[in-house]
Amino acid sequence: MTIFIAADHRGVEAKKEISKHLENNGIKVTEIGLPNYELDHYPDFAFKLGKLVRETKDSIGILICGNGVGMSIAANKVKGIRCVKANSVDDAFKGRQHNGCNVLAIGAGTNIELLKEIVDTFISTKESNTKRYLERIEKIIKYENGEYNEL
């Protein structure tokens, strides 16, 4: 599995800590290659990471900004991306298993040990084969493709 990681200026330190944590556990992460500077813009990172996840088979992404909300909103604009903004391990687990999320957005203001747990959970959780979850994900994909009209 390929894991892409990106952060805006507010998430740089958390990104370093999470990358180090994952690499210490034998998990390789790939930074997306955009430079950080004091007034960078989170959508640039979310859009680029989203496109990489969409175009790279068997990949997921991790986005970090001040609170994760902006990254999540921007990432979810990229076709093929389902991004969960996770404040807890349960959010990460359900986002991945129930909703088939392929990108995780987290906030740099969260305790780093909790962030590590959230990331570990997201990475290790498999998507569910439960019919109701798959049907819901399929509706989202169809809507995104203009093939499903809301009720």
As annotated, the active-site residues are 65, 98
Give dist(CA 97, CA 31) in Å, integer.
25
Amino acid identity for residue 20 in this structure: K
Token digits of residue 126: 């498999």
- Calculated CA dihedral for residues 108, 112, 118, 123, nearest 10 degrees: 90
Give dist(CA 95, CA 118) in Å, integer.
11
What is the DSSP-derived secondary structure letter of residue 30? Answer: E
Which residue carries 């979310």 as its tokens?
46
Amino acid identity for residue 96 in this structure: R
